[in-house]
Structure 1
Amino acid sequence: MPRGLALVVAVLALAAGCAGASRQVSPLTGMPAPSGAPVLAVKVDNSPAGRPWTGVEDADVVYVEPVEGGTTRLLAVFSSRLPASVGPVRSARESDVTVLGAYGRPALAFSGSAPELAGTLAGAPLVAVTPATAASAFRRDPDRRAPVNLYADPAALLAAAGEVSPPRDVGFRFGATPTGGEVVRHREVAFGSAIVGLTWDAVRGRWVVEPGGDQVVPSGGGDPVGAATVLVQKVTTRPSAIRDAAGAVSPYAVTTGEGEAEVLRDGRAFPARWSRPTPTDPTRVLDAGGAPVPFASGPL
């Protein structure tokens, strides 16, 4: 039976570099970004053994998705800027295909997939990039143990992918803080037995992401990873055809249809509803009156 879960969408909304390049306002972050830059999504481990992450802090948008065994993984979407390395890279899931349907034809980098998913990936509107198709874009870290030792070079991934889509409207709307809302300093979001904490840092203007209750400082150092806006989507799941090595069934997060949501920004929580008729449609996030709930575009 389907069961209620959450899908966390963290809009990092970071300022892009590329001085001198033609620029536009990105529909993914509401911030200036290089015009026409391709979209790359990467599956990243979110287990304690896989943290700290590398490169995730440079993503435009990060999805936290449920996987088998009550755990989660990240789907990090890059366009505005690319890190030198990203990882640990892990395997794809059926939910990724549906989530990325709104992005046009992005590149999706992952370590591999279950045989049951091969046909779905081959028929999806995305460009799959794996160690089997682009070995030179990936490397193993000798100081870490498999399966959390695979890292990738995003620029090399995009070179191997060829022509992919630039950012497009996936439903996000950016603007000033709405009136009302609930003052919130901390939220916990449950994915089965996995918990992701979100703590408001008023100094940085970010929701610090705390998987398992712990902040994550990027592998290269710096501030803990945080997001200007967090969308918590209440979704249902159904069993997929995929099982892990232990035989646990991988859940498929249903991100089409509609459901309850909550938008976290500026230290406040705003109730909302999300709707998305088909996988190629944007996800609309609306208040009780049917108006879009604006996201924060984030600090410069």
Structure 2
Amino acid sequence: MKRHCGKWMLLVTLLVALLAMGGCGSGSNQDLPPTRTPKPTFTTIPATPIVVDTPTPLWTATPLPTATPTATPSPIPTATPNPYLNPLTGEMVADPAVLQRRPLLVRIGNDYEVRPQSGLSLADMVWEEAMDGWTITRLTAVVWSRDPEVLKPIRSARLFTIDLGYMLDGALVHSGANDQVRWLLSQSTLVDLDEYFHSAPYSWLKPEGKWIDYPWMGRVATSAKKVRDYLKKIGKEKAVQLPGFVFSEQVPAGDAATYVEIPYPKRALVEYRYDAATHHYKRWARGEPHTDAVTGEQLAAANVIVVYATYQETSVKDVNGQPTFNIVSTGEGRAQIIRDGVVVEGKWIRPTREAFLQLVRLDGSPIPLRVGQSWVEVVPPDYHVTFKVE
């Protein structure tokens, strides 16, 4: 019995010793704190850029002769602009206050179904460019010295609208744009009155009465007064100083041209015919007299200015899947000025986006316009504009 008790005592002693050794260990078998998984690093992906093809120069201007250096002349005082002189038309205004405000750059649709449009005859100048898919053109009426009671149909903006906005420091009056153009506008310093975000000065023509069959693309309208009142309300009206064009009653030397054809797409083919009695070029669209719905009279221009500029197809698509255009309107290119029955060959110059359009001969001397409204036709460099005598 004593022998068995001795064995049990030996076993207990050994067990106690082992437990004591476990308690005094280094702790290498204890649980380690979990390792924190580092945050993944994300690469910032910039917004998808508007991709354009690299333009191929299609016309090269004759370089101007290098001027011989001369002694620095004494500074000549800059003449104070005549506050009554409209720099866009050369006309004298009765109230100079009308020139102390922003030009309105009004996007006007030119679909065959919405002609005649309203308000074009009272614009100071009108710009016309080809639209996506080469099926139609669109107009930008520059409304400054006069206030049309109706401006319609209001349509969407394009990249070229932004360029005109910078050149004229005007308020953009339009209804919509694609997402890329809207993003560029949101990042710009321009006053953008997109009807989608500034509905107050716009109205929609309801499909009833005389408008019951009027197409959807012609239903947004406004007036110069509504837009100007709204500009004042949001604190965006301001005086704008524009360099303007050169004007002269003297007819510059050129080739006879009493008929002009701008080969825009078939739905928007443009013709001008010179009226010697009024010294204006009356406008035809798609073979019909192009009139103003407000006055009922045929549209007529004192000057028709053809600006040849590269149309670059971009990665941006319209609702029909057609690529939209980036019109290269800075730098210089070929230009033709038609007035008083003649066409004058020259070039346009615009060194920066904010610079005003200059019209000069190949030797650099300015080409004067006739006093009155001008229509600017922006065409690709390979267009063949027809001039002849009728």
TM-score by length of 1: 0.87
* Offset, 1:284: 1.2
Q: Deviations over 1:37-96 (max 9, x none)?
A: 331111000110121010111100100012112121000001111111101000000111
Note the residue ranges of structure 2 that are not aligned, 5 or more in a row. 1-52, 59-81, 374-390
- Distance, in Å, in 1 between the alignment partners of 2:265 and 2:328 is 15
Q: 2:226 is matched with which residue?
A: 156
Asked if 2 retains the 8 angstrom alpha-carbon contact of 1:60 and 1:78, the reply is yes
Note the residue ranges of structure 1 that are not aligned, 5 or more in a row. 6-21
Is 1:28 aligned with 2:88?
yes
Asked if 2 retains the 8 angstrom alpha-carbon contact of 1:108 and 1:129, the reply is yes
Is 1:190 aligned with 2:263?
yes
Asked if 2 retains the 8 angstrom alpha-carbon contact of 1:134 and 1:160, the reply is no
Label 1:158 to 1:152 Cα distance change in 2 as closer, same or farther (>3 A).
same
Q: 2:183 is matched with which residue?
A: 119
- Distance, in Å, in 2 between the alignment partners of 1:165 and 1:280 is 17
Larger Rg: 2
Label 1:125 to 1:156 Cα distance change in 2 as closer, same or farther (>3 A).
same
Q: 2:157 is matched with which residue?
A: 92
- Distance, in Å, in 2 between the alignment partners of 1:112 and 1:260 is 32
Q: State which drifts further: 262-271 or 132-141.
A: 132-141
Q: 1:82 is matched with which residue?
A: 147
Q: State which drifts further: 136-145 or 39-48.
A: 136-145
Q: 1:135 is matched with which residue?
A: 199
Q: Deviations over 1:15-51 (max 9, x none)?
A: xxxxxxx961011111123421331111000110121
Opposite residue 178 of structure 2, the aligned amino acid is A
1:214-233 → structure 2 map (5 Å cutoff): 214-233=288-307
Matched position secondary structure for 2:181: helix
Label 1:125 to 1:229 Cα distance change in 2 as closer, same or farther (>3 A).
farther
1:285-300 → structure 2 map (5 Å cutoff): 285-298=359-372
* Offset, 1:209: 2.1
Q: CA RMSD in A?
A: 2.2
* Offset, 1:167: 4.6
* Offset, 1:229: 0.9
- Distance, in Å, in 2 between the alignment partners of 1:190 and 1:114 is 27
Q: 1:276 is matched with which residue?
A: 350
* Offset, 1:126: 2.0
Opposite residue 129 of structure 2, the aligned amino acid is E
* Offset, 1:165: 4.5
Q: 1:10 is matched with which residue?
A: none
Label 1:174 to 1:84 Cα distance change in 2 as closer, same or farther (>3 A).
same
Q: State which drifts further: 266-275 or 204-213.
A: 204-213
Identity of aligned residues (%): 26
Q: 1:19 is matched with which residue?
A: none
Asked if 2 retains the 8 angstrom alpha-carbon contact of 1:28 and 1:60, the reply is yes
- Distance, in Å, in 1 between the alignment partners of 2:205 and 2:86 is 33
Alignment length (residue pairs): 282
Q: Which has the higher contact order (CA 8 A, sep 6+)?
A: 1
Label 1:192 to 1:240 Cα distance change in 2 as closer, same or farther (>3 A).
farther
Label 1:133 to 1:176 Cα distance change in 2 as closer, same or farther (>3 A).
same
Q: 1:73 is matched with which residue?
A: 138
Q: 2:111 is matched with which residue?
A: 47
Label 1:140 to 1:69 Cα distance change in 2 as closer, same or farther (>3 A).
same
Opposite residue 86 of structure 2, the aligned amino acid is S
Opposite residue 160 of structure 2, the aligned amino acid is S
Is 1:64 aligned with 2:128?
yes
Matched position secondary structure for 1:191: coil
Which one has a larger percent strand, Structure 1 or Structure 2? 1
Q: State which drifts further: 136-145 or 259-268.
A: 136-145
Label 1:219 to 1:3 Cα distance change in 2 as closer, same or farther (>3 A).
farther
Opposite residue 228 of structure 2, the aligned amino acid is L
Label 1:286 to 1:50 Cα distance change in 2 as closer, same or farther (>3 A).
same
Asked if 2 retains the 8 angstrom alpha-carbon contact of 1:140 and 1:151, the reply is yes
Q: State which drifts further: 290-299 or 86-95.
A: 290-299
Asked if 2 retains the 8 angstrom alpha-carbon contact of 1:108 and 1:127, the reply is yes
Which one has a larger percent helix, Structure 1 or Structure 2? 2
Q: 2:387 is matched with which residue?
A: none
Is 1:247 aligned with 2:317?
no
TM-score by length of 2: 0.68
Q: 2:282 is matched with which residue?
A: 208
Asked if 2 retains the 8 angstrom alpha-carbon contact of 1:257 and 1:278, the reply is yes
